[in-house]
Amino acid sequence: MKKERSLAGRYWQYGALALIIQLGSACSDKAPPPPSAANSAQATPSAAPIADAKLIVAFGDSLYAGYNLDQGKGLAPVLERALAARGVKAQVVNAGVSGDTSAAGLARLAFTLDGLPRKPDLMLVGLGGNDMLRGLSPKSTRDNLDAILAELKKRDIPVLLTGMLASPNMGPDYAASFNPIFPALAKKYGATLYPFMLDGVIGNRALQLPDGIHPNDKGVGVIVGRLEPMVEDALHG
Protein backbone atom coordinates (compact mmCIF):
# COMPACT_ATOMS: atom_id res chain seq x y z
CA MET A 1 0.00 0.00 0.00
CA LYS A 2 2.81 2.40 0.87
CA LYS A 3 4.42 1.73 -2.52
CA GLU A 4 1.12 2.40 -4.28
CA ARG A 5 0.68 5.73 -2.46
CA SER A 6 4.24 6.71 -3.34
CA LEU A 7 3.70 5.93 -7.00
CA ALA A 8 0.43 7.85 -7.02
CA GLY A 9 2.16 10.83 -5.45
CA ARG A 10 4.83 10.86 -8.12
CA TYR A 11 2.22 10.80 -10.87
CA TRP A 12 0.26 13.62 -9.25
CA GLN A 13 3.45 15.67 -9.08
CA TYR A 14 3.99 14.89 -12.75
CA GLY A 15 0.44 16.05 -13.46
CA ALA A 16 0.85 19.34 -11.59
CA LEU A 17 4.07 20.16 -13.42
CA ALA A 18 2.56 19.15 -16.74
CA LEU A 19 -0.36 21.48 -16.07
CA ILE A 20 2.00 24.40 -15.48
CA ILE A 21 3.76 23.70 -18.77
CA GLN A 22 0.48 23.25 -20.60
CA LEU A 23 -0.97 26.50 -19.24
CA GLY A 24 2.22 28.32 -20.15
CA SER A 25 1.92 27.09 -23.71
CA ALA A 26 -1.79 27.92 -23.87
CA CYS A 27 -1.17 31.50 -22.77
CA SER A 28 1.13 32.16 -25.69
CA ASP A 29 0.10 32.49 -29.32
CA LYS A 30 3.70 32.03 -30.39
CA ALA A 31 5.09 28.73 -31.58
CA PRO A 32 7.35 26.97 -29.10
CA PRO A 33 10.98 28.09 -29.36
CA PRO A 34 13.31 26.01 -31.51
CA PRO A 35 15.68 23.65 -29.77
CA SER A 36 18.96 25.09 -28.57
CA ALA A 37 21.99 24.92 -30.80
CA ALA A 38 23.40 22.11 -28.65
CA ASN A 39 20.22 20.07 -28.93
CA SER A 40 19.99 20.73 -32.66
CA ALA A 41 23.55 19.55 -33.14
CA GLN A 42 22.87 16.39 -31.17
CA ALA A 43 19.75 15.74 -33.25
CA THR A 44 21.59 15.76 -36.56
CA PRO A 45 22.08 12.16 -37.76
CA SER A 46 25.37 12.89 -39.50
CA ALA A 47 27.86 10.64 -37.71
CA ALA A 48 30.15 8.57 -39.91
CA PRO A 49 29.29 4.88 -39.86
CA ILE A 50 31.33 2.60 -37.60
CA ALA A 51 32.46 -0.59 -39.30
CA ASP A 52 30.76 -3.78 -38.11
CA ALA A 53 28.61 -1.87 -35.62
CA LYS A 54 24.85 -2.13 -35.30
CA LEU A 55 23.17 1.13 -36.29
CA ILE A 56 20.51 2.35 -33.86
CA VAL A 57 18.58 5.59 -34.37
CA ALA A 58 16.95 7.31 -31.38
CA PHE A 59 14.07 9.22 -33.01
CA GLY A 60 12.08 11.28 -30.56
CA ASP A 61 11.64 14.49 -28.59
CA SER A 62 13.52 16.19 -25.74
CA LEU A 63 13.70 12.97 -23.73
CA TYR A 64 15.88 11.61 -26.53
CA ALA A 65 17.62 14.85 -27.49
CA GLY A 66 19.56 15.28 -24.25
CA TYR A 67 17.64 18.39 -23.23
CA ASN A 68 19.81 20.72 -21.10
CA LEU A 69 22.47 18.06 -20.65
CA ASP A 70 26.15 18.28 -21.47
CA GLN A 71 27.37 16.68 -24.66
CA GLY A 72 27.72 12.95 -24.21
CA LYS A 73 25.19 12.67 -21.38
CA GLY A 74 21.98 12.27 -23.37
CA LEU A 75 20.16 9.04 -24.11
CA ALA A 76 22.00 8.11 -27.32
CA PRO A 77 25.62 8.34 -26.12
CA VAL A 78 24.84 6.79 -22.74
CA LEU A 79 22.99 3.90 -24.39
CA GLU A 80 25.88 3.40 -26.80
CA ARG A 81 28.33 3.13 -23.90
CA ALA A 82 26.01 0.79 -22.01
CA LEU A 83 25.78 -1.51 -25.01
CA ALA A 84 29.57 -1.44 -25.42
CA ALA A 85 29.96 -2.43 -21.77
CA ARG A 86 27.82 -5.47 -22.55
CA GLY A 87 30.00 -6.37 -25.52
CA VAL A 88 27.55 -5.06 -28.14
CA LYS A 89 29.25 -2.98 -30.81
CA ALA A 90 26.66 -0.39 -31.75
CA GLN A 91 26.41 3.18 -32.96
CA VAL A 92 23.46 5.06 -31.47
CA VAL A 93 22.55 8.11 -33.53
CA ASN A 94 20.69 10.91 -31.78
CA ALA A 95 17.71 12.00 -33.89
CA GLY A 96 15.83 13.61 -31.01
CA VAL A 97 14.46 17.16 -31.31
CA SER A 98 13.25 19.03 -28.27
CA GLY A 99 9.63 20.18 -28.56
CA ASP A 100 8.70 17.74 -31.31
CA THR A 101 5.12 16.52 -31.44
CA SER A 102 4.18 13.32 -33.21
CA ALA A 103 3.19 15.41 -36.25
CA ALA A 104 6.60 17.10 -36.34
CA GLY A 105 8.28 13.73 -36.04
CA LEU A 106 6.25 12.32 -38.93
CA ALA A 107 7.14 15.36 -41.04
CA ARG A 108 10.89 14.80 -40.63
CA LEU A 109 10.94 11.00 -40.65
CA ALA A 110 11.77 10.43 -44.33
CA PHE A 111 14.41 13.16 -44.28
CA THR A 112 16.04 11.57 -41.24
CA LEU A 113 16.03 8.07 -42.69
CA ASP A 114 17.24 9.16 -46.12
CA GLY A 115 20.14 11.04 -44.50
CA LEU A 116 21.53 7.96 -42.77
CA PRO A 117 24.53 6.08 -44.17
CA ARG A 118 22.49 2.86 -44.29
CA LYS A 119 19.30 1.28 -43.05
CA PRO A 120 19.20 1.14 -39.24
CA ASP A 121 19.28 -2.19 -37.44
CA LEU A 122 16.87 -0.72 -34.87
CA MET A 123 14.83 2.45 -34.49
CA LEU A 124 13.87 3.79 -31.08
CA VAL A 125 10.71 5.89 -31.39
CA GLY A 126 9.69 8.20 -28.55
CA LEU A 127 7.06 10.79 -29.44
CA GLY A 128 3.67 11.82 -28.07
CA GLY A 129 4.65 13.44 -24.78
CA ASN A 130 4.42 16.95 -26.19
CA ASP A 131 1.09 16.10 -27.80
CA MET A 132 -0.21 15.19 -24.35
CA LEU A 133 1.22 18.27 -22.64
CA ARG A 134 -0.48 20.46 -25.23
CA GLY A 135 -3.76 18.60 -24.94
CA LEU A 136 -3.74 17.56 -28.58
CA SER A 137 -6.21 14.98 -29.81
CA PRO A 138 -5.12 11.44 -28.89
CA LYS A 139 -6.59 10.31 -32.21
CA SER A 140 -4.18 12.61 -34.06
CA THR A 141 -1.29 11.34 -31.95
CA ARG A 142 -2.24 7.77 -32.72
CA ASP A 143 -2.62 8.47 -36.44
CA ASN A 144 0.81 10.16 -36.60
CA LEU A 145 2.55 7.38 -34.70
CA ASP A 146 0.74 4.80 -36.81
CA ALA A 147 2.06 6.48 -39.95
CA ILE A 148 5.60 6.55 -38.52
CA LEU A 149 5.51 2.87 -37.64
CA ALA A 150 3.93 1.99 -40.99
CA GLU A 151 6.79 3.71 -42.81
CA LEU A 152 9.38 1.91 -40.71
CA LYS A 153 7.67 -1.41 -41.37
CA LYS A 154 7.63 -0.61 -45.08
CA ARG A 155 11.39 -0.06 -44.90
CA ASP A 156 11.81 -3.25 -42.85
CA ILE A 157 13.30 -1.43 -39.85
CA PRO A 158 12.69 -3.02 -36.42
CA VAL A 159 11.25 -0.68 -33.79
CA LEU A 160 11.47 -0.25 -30.05
CA LEU A 161 8.65 2.09 -29.01
CA THR A 162 9.03 4.03 -25.77
CA GLY A 163 5.62 4.93 -24.41
CA MET A 164 4.20 7.86 -22.47
CA LEU A 165 1.34 8.17 -19.99
CA ALA A 166 -1.13 11.03 -19.72
CA SER A 167 -0.60 13.19 -16.65
CA PRO A 168 -3.48 13.01 -14.12
CA ASN A 169 -4.51 16.61 -14.69
CA MET A 170 -5.59 15.70 -18.22
CA GLY A 171 -8.52 13.80 -16.76
CA PRO A 172 -9.67 10.19 -17.03
CA ASP A 173 -11.29 10.55 -20.45
CA TYR A 174 -8.10 11.87 -22.01
CA ALA A 175 -6.02 9.17 -20.31
CA ALA A 176 -8.43 6.47 -21.51
CA SER A 177 -7.82 7.60 -25.09
CA PHE A 178 -4.12 8.43 -24.84
CA ASN A 179 -2.59 5.67 -22.70
CA PRO A 180 -3.60 2.70 -24.90
CA ILE A 181 -1.95 4.24 -27.99
CA PHE A 182 1.49 2.79 -27.38
CA PRO A 183 0.67 -0.82 -26.44
CA ALA A 184 -1.89 -1.01 -29.26
CA LEU A 185 0.53 0.22 -31.91
CA ALA A 186 3.37 -1.93 -30.58
CA LYS A 187 1.09 -4.96 -30.93
CA LYS A 188 -0.11 -3.92 -34.39
CA TYR A 189 3.41 -3.55 -35.77
CA GLY A 190 5.22 -6.18 -33.73
CA ALA A 191 7.39 -3.54 -32.07
CA THR A 192 9.14 -3.96 -28.75
CA LEU A 193 7.45 -1.76 -26.13
CA TYR A 194 9.02 0.07 -23.21
CA PRO A 195 5.73 1.18 -21.61
CA PHE A 196 6.70 4.43 -19.87
CA MET A 197 9.80 6.39 -20.81
CA LEU A 198 10.07 8.14 -17.42
CA ASP A 199 9.56 5.03 -15.32
CA GLY A 200 11.85 5.14 -12.28
CA VAL A 201 12.63 8.84 -12.81
CA ILE A 202 9.42 10.85 -12.53
CA GLY A 203 8.91 12.15 -9.01
CA ASN A 204 12.51 11.57 -7.93
CA ARG A 205 14.07 15.03 -7.75
CA ALA A 206 17.57 13.56 -7.53
CA LEU A 207 17.11 12.15 -11.04
CA GLN A 208 15.45 15.17 -12.64
CA LEU A 209 16.30 18.61 -13.93
CA PRO A 210 14.76 21.55 -12.03
CA ASP A 211 11.68 21.43 -14.31
CA GLY A 212 10.66 18.22 -12.54
CA ILE A 213 10.06 16.32 -15.78
CA HIS A 214 13.24 15.89 -17.81
CA PRO A 215 15.91 13.52 -16.52
CA ASN A 216 19.32 14.79 -15.46
CA ASP A 217 22.42 12.74 -16.23
CA LYS A 218 21.68 10.38 -13.34
CA GLY A 219 18.11 10.01 -14.56
CA VAL A 220 19.32 9.16 -18.04
CA GLY A 221 21.46 6.48 -16.45
CA VAL A 222 18.40 4.99 -14.76
CA ILE A 223 16.43 4.99 -18.01
CA VAL A 224 19.27 3.43 -19.96
CA GLY A 225 19.79 0.81 -17.27
CA ARG A 226 16.22 -0.36 -17.82
CA LEU A 227 16.15 0.18 -21.57
CA GLU A 228 19.48 -1.38 -22.57
CA PRO A 229 18.49 -5.04 -22.07
CA MET A 230 15.43 -4.50 -24.25
CA VAL A 231 17.54 -2.84 -26.94
CA GLU A 232 19.99 -5.73 -26.82
CA ASP A 233 17.16 -8.27 -27.14
CA ALA A 234 15.62 -6.32 -30.03
CA LEU A 235 18.95 -6.27 -31.88
CA HIS A 236 19.26 -10.02 -31.53
CA GLY A 237 15.61 -10.67 -32.31
Q: Which of 137, 140, 173, 211 is catalytic?
A: 211
Nearest Cα to 21, choosing from 101, 104, 134, 126?
Answer: 134
Q: State yes or no: is 211 an active-site residue.
A: yes
Task: Say whether 223 sits in a helix, a strand or coil.
Answer: helix
- Which amino acid is located at 180 in the chain? P
DSSP letters along 124-168, please? Answer: EEE--HHHHHTT--HHHHHHHHHHHHHHHHHTT--EEEEP----G
Q: What is the 3-state secondary structure (H, E, C) of 183-211?
A: HHHHHHHCCEEECCCCCCCCCCHHHECCC
Strands 192-194 and 159-162: parallel
Taking alpha carbons only, the member of 139, 135, 112 closest to residue 125 is 112
Catalytic residue check, 62: yes
Residue of 62, 98, 102, 167 marked active site: 62
Q: What are phi and psi of 21, to 5 degrees?
A: -65, -45
User: Taking a C-beta distance cutoff of 8 angstroms, is the pair 151, 116 a contact?
Assistant: no
Give the Å distances, CA to CA, from 75 to 35, 37, 78, 82, 223: 16, 17, 5, 10, 8
Which is catalytic among the residues 61, 102, 131, 214? 214
Please say if 140 is a catalytic residue.
no
- Between CA 220 and CA 43 the distance in angstroms is 17
Contact 65, 96 (CB under 8 A): yes
**Which residues are catalytically annotated?**
62, 211, 214
